[in-house]
Amino acid sequence: MPSALVRLPPTPFLVADAYAVGCTRDQLRHPALHAPVRGVRMAASSADDLEALCRAVALTFRDGDTFSHLTAAALLGLPLPAHHRPLERLHVSSRAGLRPREAALIVGHSGAIARHSFRQRQLPVTVPARTWLDLGSMTGTGTGAHLTVEDLVVLTDAVLGLRHPATTRLQLERALSWFVRGRGRQTLRTALAAARSFVDSPMETRVRLQLVASGFPCPVVGADLLAEDQWVARPDMCWPQARIAIEYDGAHHYSSQHQMRSDVARRENMERLGWRVIVLYSQDVLTAWEATCGRLITAFEDQGVDLRRLSDAPDTPVRARVVVARR
C-alpha cells in the first residue's frame, strides 16, 4: 500500500473517511487499493478473499441488509458446486420496505427478516435454515437457477451437520411450514426427505444418492459399531442386517501413515466380526459405477442377504449405534 496511506487501517474503509483524514482522489486510485463497490476501498491483495470482500461491502449496508443465498452458504462453510465462483457476485437480502441492493458485484434480494439473521465472524448472515430456504429458490431450470436437486441434498446434509449454529431436521421442517409461497418449496421437501445427518463430505452424499438411484436401500449413515461394549468403527455408510459397510476415500484422505494404519486396522477388526468392507475411490463413483454396483451385489450375495428384503434406513437425530455380535 502506498506510503501516503499507511495511516489508514489495513482493513476495508469508506472513501469518505479517507477524505476526512486528508487523502486525495489520486491516492485512493492507487493500484494497491481495490474498489469492490462505490465508496469503499480495500487492499487489492485481499480482493480474492471472500470474507475480506464481504467486510468491505458490509460497510455500505443499511439496517436490515444481510448476506444471503450462495454468499451466506459460503460464509457458513457449506459445500457449493465446483462451478460456483463466490467472489463474482455477492448475494445481499434487504428487509421489506428497502429497495434491493444494486451494484455490479451485488445480487440484490428482498424479504430479509431480522430474526433470520445472525453474526458470523462479525458479518450479518442469514441463519442456516433461512439460507437453506433461499438456496431452494435457486434450483430448477429458469432464471437464477444455479443448483441441481443433488446439489441441494448435498447442502442439506451439510446444514444438518453444522455445529455452530446447530441446525436440526425439525428446524428445517418448521422453516418449510411457513415458507408457503416460496419458489422451490417442493424441491426443498424432496431434498430434506433424501438428506441424512452425520455425513462427513459432499462425495459421501453423492455416493448415497447414486446407491438409492441404482436400487439399493438407503444405508445407515455414520453409525458407531460396537462389539462387547467396545467401539469398533464408524463407517461412512452401512447395512447392519447384511454386515456390509462402505468407506469413501478421497484423494486427500490419508494425511499421514498413522491415519492409514489406523484405517486398515479398523477395517480388519470389522472383517473379523464378519463384516464386508467396500472401499470406494472417486473413479469408482464417477467413471466405474456399473462395476461398483456389481461389487456391492456380490457382497450382498456373499453375505447371504436378499437386497429386496431390506428397507431404507431413516434419518435419526441421534447417531445410530449398531451392536455387533461375533459370528
CA dihedral of 122, 127, 131, 132, whole degrees rounded to 10: 140
Give the tens place of pLDDT for each residue, 131-166.
Answer: 999 999 898 755 556 899 999 999 999 999 998 888
Rounded distance between C-alpha atoms, residue 279 and residue 276, angstroms: 10
C-alpha cell at 298: 456380490
* Cβ pair 17, 61 in contact under 8 A: no
Predicted local distance difference test score (pLDDT) of residue 296: 98
Collapsed DSSP state (helix, strand, coil) of residue 247: strand
User: What's the CATH architecture for 202-323?
Assistant: 3-Layer(aba) Sandwich (3.40)
For range 75-85, the mean pLDDT: 93
Note whether 56 and 12 are within 8 A (CB).
Answer: yes
- Cβ distance 224 to 320 under 8 Å? yes
pTM over 0.85: yes
- The answer to whether residue 6 scores a pLDDT higher than 50 is no
First-last CA distance in the chain: 69
Report whether 275 contacts 244 (CB < 8 A): yes
The phi, psi pair for 251, rounded to 5°, reads -60, -30
Q: Whole-angstrom Cα distance, residue 266 to residue 275?
A: 11
Confidence of residue 224 (pLDDT cuts 50, 70, 90): very high
Position 316 scores a pLDDT of 93
* Stretch(es) of the chain classified as CATH 3.40.960.10: 202-323
Amino acid code (one letter) for 242: A
- Using CA atoms, how far residue 46 sits from 3, 27, 125, 221, in Å, is 18, 18, 20, 39
Q: Stretch 65-92: mean pLDDT, rounded?
A: 94
Strand-strand pairing, 237-239 and 244-248: antiparallel
Return all residues near 116 (Cβ < 8 A) that are at least 6 apart. 66, 126, 127, 129, 130
